[in-house]
Structure 1
């Protein structure tokens, strides 16, 4: 790579670093406080959930995944994704097979009647609670069962009536919290509003039931051939239905969160560039583009580029990936990293893709051609929520030597 090419965006560097540091990167005090609240609340809820014998038997641990724990969260640390990892007993003989939808599998229990976790302990209603009539693990039944377990656990806390809804009150040694719950897709979202050490805390925790399996249990298809499984020897299946497909309760989405966390680790400017692209996505109202789709673009790029690419300037990495984002939108195709036959944008209407491109292309064009820092700074103001006010880059920029203000 010629020096001139990767220094082409040097004039953007102070602006991007300022945005990343002041408006995108998470506040450390907020992170510490909210993590303590999360641990307090989760401990109490899981204690109540474990009173359900079947949940207590299946539950292994909580897995902290999603943008926050990958270091990709933008704005405030007030949303958390937690997988509740469940293990099916070996003697139930779970067999995983590929489904008709790439990226999704079916889980069949060959010996569902012999369901036991501990010697002498059986659960005769297991098949009715979690399996369909042919002993396939059912997403609808698992989610219904999980909802009942969580609801009963929350009902153990004090219930307050407010505007026709029931709010749960949880009192701990360090705080008082008011809890509500909503449901979207496979997640049960705990909405927390309270006081921790006299500081107001508002946060959402998404709880998703997942089943964990060993890599060796993957079906014989493209997944097994992927060398990145060597990083971690487990994968998860999530009760998330495919988009734009007839609903199939037997379809479970594959999840390789542990492997992805290893892949994006220690990659220089990769994470800051993802955060900036997500901020641009948010400020431009690209609601159809999930954070995972942006992350997937970067996962593919890890395969294609020299590892040294991620150690270039943030401005160069960001602009390169912004143009990659444009190309994927033009193709209306972001292949799932773990099975490229699954297009993550298969549901996206062409008109929607064109509308998103109408916001991206002018930004790229202006950043490619303009050397007016004031003009550029106003363009980057899109990254910043209105509540935070306009960007204040000029103190930093005016102190730079002339040759660093505009790259010739």
Structure 2
């Protein structure tokens, strides 16, 4: 069985789930005297213990459920058994700001084609920023004409349209059917429930399992008695050969494989056959100053900027990493507060221009579909916040912009003494 873990989960797994502890990294009694100490206190003392305290249990359940589901999926489908490769990812970029109740299983589905064939470039066709079409019918047909595992290979052949393009919808129909069949093989209980439910027992505790349909299947794992809940996103993907990226600095340019995921492209003649190219491996190399990213995500949440997705915030940092490419120690030389103020101002500039360019094709505006009046409102909020950031004497008020109303009320009373 081929199973890969992200670095964070490798560390946790090797240590017996003891990497994350409930002890804060900072000293909770260290005084908050300026913006640097305030940001450190919020990031390390107030938020991190909550994430770390919950992670070991969530990970153990996540691991047990994912391994079991993967084994059952192999039992019910010969194509999945032969061509699947499972990565238990967690959250690779480590940028989640809440407790770890949402983790990913990246289910990579291989294709029985020669990825190193000289004609491979013709297989991948760009159709829109971040979207491609896959023309694999010719290679699949050649394999079907041979002796051997044609009964397995013909599964992939059923995902094609008449022009030999791989259709996202047909692939997802197959994928969901495999998940559904596997779910039927879990244990079933009717105890204290209005109807029978699938369950799994982990370290003596029984958890109810159910599927929530969507772009990708999400497996919800719950213990109603304790209030435990874990959402496991079962993310399907196809893996193909990478091309040189023209947007990467030369010292970090990568070759190898890249993933396409069945995220729909809305509208246009290629809608049914378009696959999203996430470019995750390349983007991870561009992320610096995770503390600032998390704090800006907290700022977004506390200020109700719900139209700004986390990927949009990370994209701002991608652009900045290229902008600072000439200054090798920019991210290490500057104090956390300096970097935070700098990136909040960058965020404000993007909202003012109403344009966050997609990193891999800057002609595409990630926030172009958001109503301009909403973006104007977000920009005004940040403008007020920047005035506070620029006044060192107002550093305590910064916490108000990074917390919910109830959190700030308690924090102001117990720690800020204002």
Call closer, same or farther: CA 1:286–1:163 in 2, change over 3 Å.
Answer: farther
Call closer, same or farther: CA 1:318–1:253 in 2, change over 3 Å.
Answer: same
Call closer, same or farther: CA 1:97–1:222 in 2, change over 3 Å.
Answer: farther
RMSD of equivalent CA atoms: 3.1
2:13 maps to: none
2:312 maps to: 293
Among 195, 200, 209, the alignment partner of 1:179 is 209
2:105–2:232: 8 Å Cα contact kept in structure 1? Answer: yes
> 1:341, 1:213 → 2: CA distance?
25
Q: Secondary structure at the match of 1:189?
A: strand
Count of matched residue positions in the alignment of Structure 1 and Structure 2? 372
1:6 maps to: none
Q: Secondary structure at the match of 2:304?
A: coil
1:106 aligned to 2:129? no
Among 346, 356, 365, the alignment partner of 1:334 is 356
Call closer, same or farther: CA 1:232–1:12 in 2, change over 3 Å.
Answer: farther
1:255 maps to: 278
1:326–1:360: 8 Å Cα contact kept in structure 2? Answer: yes
> 1:257, 1:228 → 2: CA distance?
17
1:353 aligned to 2:372? no
1:36 maps to: 60
Gaps in structure 1 of 5+ consecutive residues = 1-9, 399-408
2:399–2:408: 8 Å Cα contact kept in structure 1? Answer: no
1:64 aligned to 2:94? no
1:303 maps to: 322
2:113–2:139: 8 Å Cα contact kept in structure 1? Answer: no
2:112–2:140: 8 Å Cα contact kept in structure 1? Answer: no
How is 1:395-406 mapped onto 2 (pairs within 5 angstroms)? Answer: none
2:108 maps to: 85
Deviates more, 1:304-313 or 1:126-135: 126-135
1:210 aligned to 2:242? no
1:212–1:237: 8 Å Cα contact kept in structure 2? Answer: yes
How is 1:180-199 mapped onto 2 (pairs within 5 angstroms)? Answer: 180-185=210-215, 187-194=216-223
TM-score, normalisation: structure 1? 0.81
1:242 aligned to 2:265? yes
> 1:24, 1:388 → 2: CA distance?
11
1:63–1:85: 8 Å Cα contact kept in structure 2? Answer: no
> 2:403, 2:409 → 1: CA distance?
7
2:149 maps to: 121
> 1:358, 1:242 → 2: CA distance?
32
2:220–2:231: 8 Å Cα contact kept in structure 1? Answer: yes
Call closer, same or farther: CA 1:307–1:129 in 2, change over 3 Å.
Answer: same
1:180–1:190: 8 Å Cα contact kept in structure 2? Answer: yes
Displacement of 1:171 in angstroms is: 2.3
> 2:251, 2:214 → 1: CA distance?
31
> 2:272, 2:371 → 1: CA distance?
25
Deviates more, 1:20-29 or 1:277-286: 20-29
Measured against aligned partners, the alpha-carbon deviations of 1:262-289 in whole angstroms (never above 9, x if no partner) come to 332xx4xx10000000111112222211
Deviates more, 1:277-286 or 1:382-391: 382-391
